[in-house]
């Protein structure tokens, strides 16, 4: 048995994009459920008039401390009573894209979730 769900949600007005992939499959008596999600949000758009504006924008971002490192989280859980293992990984961060005369500040969240269950207990 194998089941796949794919969703690609894009919202132009709210500047969001959400990509979701879920897969469920059974092999050797173990039921595995995986979810992958990529979420992007345009936080800010800065219009630049010339090259000097880009340098000024970079200096302001560095002084304000807005340019940050990615955050990475891992959560793992094992349950003998349920016969289940869970794993969750998340990456949060910000990146910048320059298109034409605009700097886009984009916030993202990537997550991966997997759950393994003995198929005799899953029913």
Q: DSSP string spanning 88-116? A: EEEEEEEEEEEETTEEEEEEEEEEEEEEE
93 neighbors 69 (Cβ within 8 angstroms):
yes
Q: What is the model's pLDDT at position 60?
A: 82
Which single residue is written with the structure tokens 């194998």? 2
- 6 Cβ neighbours under 8 A, 6+ residues apart: 20, 21, 22
Q: What is the model's pLDDT at position 66?
A: 61
Mean pLDDT by 10 residues, the chain (123 residues): 79 84 88 93 89 84 74 91 90 90 91 88 50
Model-level pTM? Answer: 0.76
DSSP-assigned letter for residue 15: T
């Amino acid at each position: 048995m194998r089941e796949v769900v794919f969703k690609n949600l894009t919202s132009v007005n709210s500047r969001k994009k959400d990509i979701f992939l879920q897969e469920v499959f059974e092999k050797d008596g173990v039921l595995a459920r995986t979810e992958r999600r990529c979420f992007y949000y345009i936080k800010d758009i800065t219009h630049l008039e010339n090259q000097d504006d880009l340098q000024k924008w970079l200096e302001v971002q560095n002084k304000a401390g807005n340019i940050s490192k990615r955050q990475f989280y891992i959560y793992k859980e094992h349950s003998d009573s349920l016969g289940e293992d869970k794993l969750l990984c998340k990456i949060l961060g910000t990146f910048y894209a320059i298109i034409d005369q605009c700097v886009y500040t984009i916030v993202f969240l990537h997550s991966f979730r997997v759950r393994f269950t003995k198929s005799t207990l899953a029913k």
